[in-house]
């Protein structure tokens, strides 16, 4: 009977590329959620203050609602990405522009609400 040495089993191989992509999407989700919360607070302040009934307030409200809509679209797109197999995709630039635009609107609203 031949002496059979048992070969050690190889450890499972995990795809680091997919893990990185999944982590990036999760980070982007957190970023979008944070900006959504700030945007929601700005809308609440606009309505609570009654400034939404002024000309500038209604324009600011439209801009805030437009950025809120874009952020919600980005959030659903990220959720779809996480629901299936995640690969690195070139959406980061588009997400960056949406988030930066929403942050700019929120900053403009904050500056408009508290005049110096």
Distance CA 114, CA 70 (A): 25
pLDDT at residue 53, as a whole number: 92
Is 23 within the bounds of a domain?
no
10 has pLDDT over 90: no
Please indicate whether residue 74 or residue 116 has the higher confidence score (pLDDT).
74
Q: What is the pLDDT of residue 4?
A: 67
Longest distance between any two alpha carbons in the chain, whole Å? 94
Which has the higher per-residue pLDDT, 16 or 6?
A: 16
Q: Express as a percent the part of the chain with pLDDT over 70.
A: 83
pLDDT in tens, 92-110: 677 778 888 888 888 888 8
Tally of domains in the chain: 1
To 10 degrees, the CA torsion angle through 104, 54, 49, 60?
-10
- 84, part of any domain: yes
Model confidence pLDDT, tens digit, residues 73-92: 888 888 877 777 665 566 66
Examine residue 7 and state whether it is found in any structural domain, yes or no: no
For residue 14, is it within any domain?
A: no
Do the beta carbons of residue 102 and residue 71 sit within 8 Å? yes
Residue 20 lies in a domain: no
Is residue 3 included in any domain, yes or no?
A: no
Full domain range(s) for residue 106: 28-113
**Is residue 100 assigned to a domain?**
yes
Supply the pLDDT for residue 109: 84
**60 with 91: CB under 8 angstroms?**
no
Q: How far apart are CA 100 and CA 67, in angstroms?
A: 10
Does residue 10 form part of some domain? no
């Amino acid at each position: 009977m031949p002496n059979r040495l048992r070969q050690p089993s190889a450890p499972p191989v995990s795809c680091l590329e997919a893990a990185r992509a999944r982590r990036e999407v999760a980070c982007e989700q957190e970023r979008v959620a944070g900006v959504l919360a700030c945007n929601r607070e700005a809308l609440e302040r606009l309505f609570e203050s009654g400034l939404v009934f002024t000309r500038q307030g209604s324009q600011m409200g439209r801009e805030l609602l437009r950025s809120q809509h874009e952020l919600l679209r980005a959030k659903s797109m990220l959720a779809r990405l996480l629901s299936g197999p995640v690969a690195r995709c070139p959406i980061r630039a588009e997400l960056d522009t949406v988030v930066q635009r929403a942050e700019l609107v929120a900053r403009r609203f904050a500056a408009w609400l508290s005049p110096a």
